[in-house]
Amino acid sequence: MKRWLVLVLAIFLLLLLAACGNAEDPPTETDGATEVEDENVNEGGEDPPNGEEAEDNSDEGSSEDLMFVTVEMMDSDGNAAGTAELSTESSGVGVTLNLEGLETGPHSVEFRDAGKCEAPDFETTGEPFGGDIPDIEAGDDGTVAEEFVVEGVTLKTGEENSLLKEGGASLFIQGTDNSESVACGVITAQQ
């Protein structure tokens, strides 16, 4: 009888210890990785320095870094003229142009400081904005497929040189003699 009593007491103590030990949530496994909840770990996954509480910076209007934007380009008749893909690069904004329907020859490219492209002359695009952009060359078939990086601009919102600034921006293409507006596209962030 004593053995049963000792066994029952031992089981009771083990259950009691197990229940007390589960006061905090144990690590959980997710997709083969162990995930530990810690209220002192910040959003980047790093522990705050020496006992400091993690700061909540969500209300500080921090800049959001957008990695990729597609700009739909239109010609002076309002028809689709291709795309410009903008990407975040370490030295600025990468631009990949895929255009069609241009006259053969050189064309200048500019970022403009207003997010409006009203055909046929695109006068609503505003003033040139951002870094220097090399001229592009349309082939005999009227197409352009070129890539380059523009320094001095960013896709990070909240920055003074952001292409995603309040009021928008646009990508403007014209003849190199600055007489003919060829294509335009409004730069906006897709969520």
Single-letter residue type at 133? I
Q: Are β-strands 181-187 and 169-175 bridged in parallel, bridged antiparallel, or unpaired?
A: antiparallel
Tens of pLDDT, residue by residue over 49-59, are 444 443 433 33
Whether residues 178 and 118 share a domain: the answer is yes
Among 18-32, 39-53, 155-169, 176-190, where is mean pLDDT lowest?
39-53
Q: How confident is the model at residue 100, as a pLDDT?
A: 95
- 123-169 per-position pLDDT tens digit: 999 999 988 899 999 999 999 999 999 999 999 988 999 999 888 99
**Domain span holding position 176:** 68-187
Residues 99 and 144 in one domain: yes
- Residue 135: predicted pLDDT: 93
Are 37 and 84 in the same domain?
A: no
Query: Within a domain: residue 63?
Result: no
> Whole-model pTM?
0.64
- Residue 108 burial (CB count, 10 A): 17
Structure confidence at residue 177 (pLDDT): 73
